[in-house]
């Protein structure tokens, strides 16, 4: 792989545009996998990172924390880890050509939250890809092997990518926080990326949805994804 390159979209200054840059293509080390990015979502959080309104990212930074693609090369197996926390995916047999999404939040693997599999609550994450380390707005992405989740051939890359952030957020909100029961009525305020995902999960779980959004096309999307009604 030495000498091969890739293009990435880099944020160099707060408020600035993303600029295309050519960089050496990474070579995966132990426990790492090189992904050819086939789809990367743009999350509203990316806009907050660009303007620095939520957190101040280290710059320059390649944004993109909703990543799906194909495995290109697999690094050597990592040394046994002292951590006990499971990774979000099953990746022990990752091979070139595999279709995967890469979860962006890499827990420390040693705290109580990581040990129970709730890496998203880890107070000392090893990395938050696209927030504090280079993400997926690039032709290739160097992933931690344990962050990968296999995706079925029937799932388009673009739909798989958004499961890594807005999709997982929706599943947790509907099933673990709100604990929506079948036949309950759920009001979803805001039919953006997360809101539309919430609608799909809640509909799949048998709930009735009323969506509220001032944006007409968003209300139409809410209805298309199964909301019973939509108000502005
Ligand atoms: Zn996000
Ligand atoms: Zn942890």
Confirm if 206 and 182 have CB atoms less than 8 A apart.
Answer: yes
Neighbours of 109 (CB within 10 A): 20
Ligand 1 mean position, distance from CA 204 (Å): 22
The answer on 36 and 134 residing in a single domain is yes
Instruction: Report the separation in Å between the CA atom of 109 and the middle of ligand 1, taken as the mean of its atom positions.
Output: 22
Indicate which CATH number applies to the domain containing 224: 3.40.50.720
* ipTM of the complex, rounded to two decimals: 0.92
CA of 164 to the centre of ligand 1 (A): 8
Q: Give the ligand whose atoms come closest to the C-alpha of residue 163.
A: 1
| C-alpha pair distances (Å), 31 with each of 101, 151, 209 | 16, 20, 42
Query: What tokens appear for 75 in the block?
Result: 């690094």
Query: 29 and 52, same structural domain?
Result: yes
For residues 126 and 76, membership in a common domain is answered with yes
Ligand whose nearest atom lies closest to the CA of 106: 2
Among all ligands shown, which has an atom nearest to the Cα of 168? 1
Bridge partner list, 73: 34
Whether residue 91 sits in one domain with residue 51? yes
Question: 122 φ, ψ to 5°?
Answer: -60, 125
Q: Are 194 and 102 found together in one domain? A: no
- The verdict on residue 172 lying in a domain is no
129 plus 207 within the same structural domain? no
pLDDT reading at 15 higher than 90: yes
Average pLDDT over residues 80-105: 71
Q: Could you tell me if 73 and 96 are in contact, meaning their C-beta atoms sit under 8 angstroms apart?
A: yes
163 within a domain of the structure (yes/no): yes
Q: What is the mean pLDDT of the chain?
A: 91
pLDDT given for residue 118 in this prediction: 86
Residue 174's pLDDT is: 97
Query: CB–CB of 195/169 below 8 Å?
Result: no
Distance 104 CA to ligand 2 centre (A): 14
β-bridge partners, 36: 70, 140
pLDDT at 56: 86
Q: What is the pLDDT of residues 16-47, one digit of tens each?
A: 999 999 999 999 999 999 999 999 999 989 99
Are 27 and 55 members of one domain?
Answer: yes
Q: What is the pLDDT of residue 27?
A: 95
pLDDT at residue 55, rounded to an integer: 82
CA of 89 from ligand 2 middle (Å) equals 16
In tens, the pLDDT along 51-88 reads: 999 788 999 999 999 999 999 999 988 655 444 444 55
Check whether residue 37 and residue 104 sit in a common domain: yes
Query: Do 39 and 141 fall into the same domain?
Result: yes
The verdict on 147 and 183 lying in the same domain is no
User: How far is Cα 40 from Cα 14, in angstroms, rounded to an integer?
Assistant: 21
| Residue 173 belongs to some domain of the structure | no
pLDDT value of residue 78: 67
Residue 34 lies in a domain: yes
Pick the more confident residue, 3 or 96.
96
Give the strand pairing for 127-128 and 5-11: unpaired
Q: Which domain holds residue 9?
A: 5-167
**How confident is the model over 144-198, as pLDDT tens digits?**
998 999 999 999 999 999 999 999 999 999 999 999 999 999 999 999 999 999 9
Do residues 141 and 116 share a domain? yes
- Verify that 189 and 155 share a domain, yes or no: no
Which CATH number characterizes residue 156's domain? 3.90.180.10
- Token reading at 123: 């107070």
pLDDT top residue among 89 and 173: 173
Report, in angstroms and rounded to the nearest whole number, the Rg of the chain calculated over CA atoms: 19
């Amino acid at each position: 792989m030495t000498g091969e390159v890739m293009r990435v979209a880099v944020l160099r200054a707060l408020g600035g545009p993303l600029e295309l840059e050519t960089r050496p293509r990474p070579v995966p080390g132990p426990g790492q996998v090189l992904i050819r990015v086939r789809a990367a979502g743009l999350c509203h959080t990316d806009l907050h990172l660009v303007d620095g309104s939520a957190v101040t990212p280290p710059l320059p930074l390649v944004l993109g924390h909703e990543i799906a693609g194909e495995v290109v090369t697999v690094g050597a197996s990592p040394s046994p880890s002292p951590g006990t926390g499971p990774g979000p995916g099953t990746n022990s047999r990752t091979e070139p050509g595999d279709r995967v999404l890469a979860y962006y939040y890499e827990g420390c693997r040693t705290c109580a939250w990581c040990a129970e599999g709730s890496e998203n609550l880890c107070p000392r994450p090893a990395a938050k890809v696209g927030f504090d380390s280079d993400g997926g707005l690039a032709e290739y992405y160097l992933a931690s092997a344990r962050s990968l989740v296999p995706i079925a051939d029937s799932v388009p890359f673009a739909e798989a990518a958004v499961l890594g952030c807005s999709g997982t957020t929706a599943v947790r909100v509907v099933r673990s926080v709100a604990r929506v029961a079948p036949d309950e009525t759920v009001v979803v305020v805001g039919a953006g990326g997360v809101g539309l995902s919430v609608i799909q999960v809640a509909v799949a779980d048998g709930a009735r949805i009323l969506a509220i959004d001032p944006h007409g096309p968003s209300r139409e999307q809410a209805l298309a994804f199964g909301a019973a009604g939509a108000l502005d």
